[in-house]
Amino acid sequence: MTLSEKILAAHAGKTKVTPGELVNVRVDLVLSNDITAPIAIKEFKRIGIKRVFDPRKVVMVPDHFTPNKDIPSAEQAKLVREFALEQGLVYFEVGRMGIEHVLLPEQGLVLPGDVVIGADSHTCTYGAVGAFATGMGSTDIASAMASGEIWMKVPPTIRFVYHGKLSRWTGGKDLILHTIGAIGVDGALYSAMEFTGEAVAMLSMDGRFTMANMAIEAGAKAGILGVDDKTIEYVRPRAKRPYEVYEADKDAEYARVVEYDVSRLEPQVAFPHMPSNTKPISEVGEIEIDQVVIGSCTNGRLEDLQITAQILKGRQVHPRVRCIVIPGSQRVYLEALREGLIETFVNSGAAVSTPTCGPCLGGYMGVLAAGERCVSTTNRNFVGRMGSPDSEIYLTNPAVAAASAVLGKIASPEEVAD
């Protein structure tokens, strides 16, 4: 069996599962946020069950429109807060929270071998620690909160092997953008994307979270990486409960195996209006911009801010550009503060926000007007994703985003870095 099949079999109480098989799977964690939890709560109450199956395994994180941007978002957050406190759930309030997919691994709530479901499509982020994690609709989440199980079809697994050593300004974001550009936004439809190879092994955990996070942009059910020493080093000090590490069998059957030599891979830019519309930075041309957003559940971790600061230190954001930096969690914010990164951002002319999804989904803190162009480290650039349907979003890694903020156009970090 593949890694995903091993985990699902163990959680279904079976010795073996095969792609296409329908199984009932025990879940280790159920997640929802301030947009999706209210629907799940309503459906949970409609079922007629009074208590969730295990309050330690149900997590609610208000992160999309919080701190509350208006009265409707305040009402949403209030509903979530009251239910979470009444049920005794794992709940994170503003000031102690973060973007859910940054926060949960950081807090040791998702661990190797887990099955995690969330009412958010980027739940697949947790595959970076060797968990099977996937997004589901709010009604499925309501059922899981009641029963502790989900009903699903076992996905086939596509194995992606990345050979070679990445160059200085490339990382996990470039690997996954390159992959999506090659296979398309439906290239891994309802499949588990298993990432491996020399380049992946050399990635930090922050880079691995970025790769797993964007598996959904290729239509995948999950993105997953094997557990190695880096994973254990990350997980061990955070874990508050036992976990089990699974490995793919040597003779595991994959739907297909895709291999890339990434030794000469340039930083990638996804042009409007699809994450698959990618070009290497050398082919971008002269494209002036109005805004840069650095953050989100894709690239809002400490390493992302460190890379951003390398570019911005001693330089100024272009006078025509709004540069918004959003740490992914309170801990990331505090670590960035201690390292002097926040001072670097402010001195360069960037705005620094409390942790929030905010502009990623066109919520607030960076909504685009008609005709505006934004370079963003987020995960989607669909029409109207960050505001006006007549705006444009270009997805990049943090180094490209920071260089673009300085030069006022989409730029390679090589153009500004020492």
pLDDT digits (tens), the chain, 418 positions: 999 999 999 999 999 999 999 999 999 999 999 999 999 999 999 999 999 999 999 999 999 999 999 999 999 999 999 999 999 999 999 999 999 999 999 999 999 999 999 999 999 999 999 999 999 999 999 999 999 999 999 999 999 999 999 999 999 999 999 999 999 999 999 999 999 999 999 999 999 999 999 999 999 999 999 999 999 999 999 999 999 999 999 999 999 999 999 999 999 999 999 999 999 999 999 999 999 999 999 999 999 999 999 999 999 999 999 999 999 999 999 999 999 999 999 999 999 999 999 999 999 999 999 999 999 999 999 999 999 999 999 999 999 999 999 999 999 999 997 7
Residues 6+ apart with CB under 8 A from 31: 59, 60, 61, 100, 104, 116, 117, 118, 119, 120, 123, 141
Whole-number pLDDT of residue 92:
96
Q: Given this model, what pLDDT does residue 260 score?
A: 97
- H helical segments located in 203-255: 205-213, 229-235
Q: pLDDT at position 380, please?
A: 94
- Domain 269-415 classified CATH 3.30.499.10? yes
Cα dihedral 331, 333, 335, 341, rounded to 10, equals 170
What is the spatial distance between Cα 139 and Cα 7, in angstroms, rounded to a whole number?
A: 24
Write down the domain spans for the chain: 3-260, 269-415
Determine whether 52 is exposed, middle or buried from the number of CB atoms within 10 Å of its CB (0-12, 13-18, 19+).
buried
Cβ–Cβ < 8 Å for 59, 91: yes
Of 34, 9, 14, 44, which Cα lies nearest the Cα of 115? 9
In whole angstroms, what is the distance from residue 15 CA to residue 398 CA? 43
What would the two tokens of residue 195 be?
A: 């990432």
Q: What is the structure's pLDDT at 417?
A: 74
Query: How far apart (Å, rounded) are the C-alpha atoms in residues 370 and 153?
Result: 42
Is 269-415 the same fold as 3-260?
yes
Query: Which superfamily does 3-260 belong to?
Result: Aconitase, domain 3 (3.30.499.10)
Tokens of residue 145, six digits: 């909160």
Q: Distance (Å, rounded) from C-alpha 360 to C-alpha 376?
A: 8
State the Cα–Cα distance between residues 267 and 169, nearest whole angstrom.
Answer: 7
Output b/e per residue, 55-65; b: 16+ Cβ within 10 A. Answer: eebbbbbbbbb
Q: How far apart are the C-alpha atoms of 377 and 296, rounded to whole Å?
A: 7
pTM for this entry? 0.95
By the 8 A CB rule, do 265 and 146 touch? no
Query: Residue 209: is it exposed, middle or buried by C-beta count within 10 angstroms (0-12/13-18/19+)?
Result: buried
How far is 347 from 368, CA to CA, in rounded Å? 24
CB 143, CB 117: distance < 8 Å: no
**Separation between Cα atoms, residue 175 and residue 290, nearest integer Å:** 26
